Amino acid sequence: MKANTHAFNVELATELNDVNEAIILQHFYWWYQNNKNDASRYKDDHPYPWSYNTIESMQRIFPYMKKTKLSGAISRLEAKGYIKTGNYNEMKFDKTKWYAITEKSALAFENSVSSNKKSGSSSKKSDSSSEKSGSSSENTIPNSNPNSNPNSNIKYKKVMDKLIELYPKNRVNNTGPILKYLQKKTDTELKQIILSVPKYLDLAGDYVKNLRNYLEHECWTEEWLQAETKKNNSNKNNPNHNFSGNY
């Protein structure tokens, strides 16, 4: 089984005086290399491409770092001028952060490469043996870029996670069909689906549909909510009235 390895630049770790910062910056630099040919990743005239991720997702990439250590390392990298952060999400309620390296980072890695080239023939021999064994002295983080395809399911997964957060836990069922349903919706509809949850739950009371039915029965639409509100108002004095939502 291939080992999942994380590596860092020793010179950079020494300069930063923090191994965690060096590991994370190595990851951001890998993002830069992976996205530098994607024109859609360049924003606001910044010369380096942007990538995005949540702290929770990054914790899965760096499971040995607590959330506070991870957030702290990222904040320090920004304060030291090695990265920039921003928000270029399509939906205003989406607070996922975007990250980009700076010229300071690029120069640090370029200087490191130049330094390695001058290390002499002994290091070349070592590098040769490393290549044969499948490792590298400047090994970046493999198979861990969550957004190498900007048109992937990340946006819809974040919407689903938000719905699960808002919805009663005992009314959330199989998430596969939920994700498929969300993938067919526009950004405006996705926003409405989320914003309608509190109003729907208030209307439903003890008769809340499971999340999949809430979506597929379109209980999130303004038309449905208005019709149900009118129905509830007209029957509020009827003790035998039950909410029309089936499980």
CATH code assigned at 16: 1.10.10.10
25 and 54 both lie in a single domain: yes
In a domain, 82, yes or no: yes
**What local confidence, expressed as pLDDT, does residue 238 receive?**
60
Decide if 78 is inside a domain.
yes
Domain boundary among 133, 165, 188: 133
Same domain, 88 and 195: no
| Per-residue pLDDT, 235 | 66
Whole-number Å distance between alpha carbons of 219 and 224: 6
Task: Evaluate whether residue 45 is within a structural domain.
Answer: yes
29 and 72 part of one domain: yes
Cα–chain center distance at 196: 23
Q: Which domain holds residue 164?
A: 154-235
Task: Show the tokens assigned to 227.
Answer: 């019709």
In a shared domain, residues 27 and 92: yes
- Within this chain, do residues 159 and 126 fall inside the same structural domain, yes or no? no
Dihedral over alpha carbons 170, 221, 89, 153 (to 10 degrees): 60
148 inside domain: no
Claim to verify: residue 126 and residue 163 sit in the same structural domain: no
pLDDT, residue 113, reads 59
Supply the DSSP string of 181-234, one letter for each residue. HHHTS-HHHHHHHHHTHHHHHHHHTT-PPPHHHHHHTTTTSHHHHHHHHHHHHH
In a domain, 17, yes or no: yes
Compute the half-sphere exposure of residue 215: CA atoms within 13 Å on the CB side of its CA: 27
In order along the chain (247 residues), what is the average pLDDT of each group of 10 residues? 71 91 93 87 90 87 92 96 91 84 90 58 45 36 38 73 90 86 88 91 89 92 89 67 45
Considering the domain architecture, whether residues 106 and 33 belong to the same structural domain is answered as yes
Instruction: Write the pLDDT tens digit of every residue in 47-104.
Output: 999 998 888 888 888 999 999 999 999 999 999 999 999 988 887 777 788 999 999 9
Cβ 215 vs Cβ 197: under 8 Å: no
Q: What is the DSSP letter of 90?
A: S
**Residue 246: predicted pLDDT:** 41
Backbone angles phi, psi at 42, to 5 degrees: -100, 120
In a domain, 145, yes or no: no
Count of domains in the chain?
Answer: 2
The answer to whether residues 107 and 43 belong to one domain is yes
Q: Please indicate, yes or no, if residue 142 is contained in any of the structural domains.
A: no
* Shared domain check, 60 and 122: yes
**Region of 100 on the Ramachandran plot (φ > 0 left; ψ -120 to 50 alpha; else beta):** beta
Measuring CA to CA, which residue among 73, 70, 72, 98 is closest to residue 84?
Answer: 98
45 and 110 part of one domain: yes
Identify whether residues 64 and 129 lie together within a single domain. Answer: yes
Distance CA 50, CA 111 (A): 22
Identify the pLDDT of residue 127. 46
Do 45 and 80 lie in one domain? The reply is yes
Assess if residue 178 is contained within a domain.
yes
Specify the pTM: 0.49
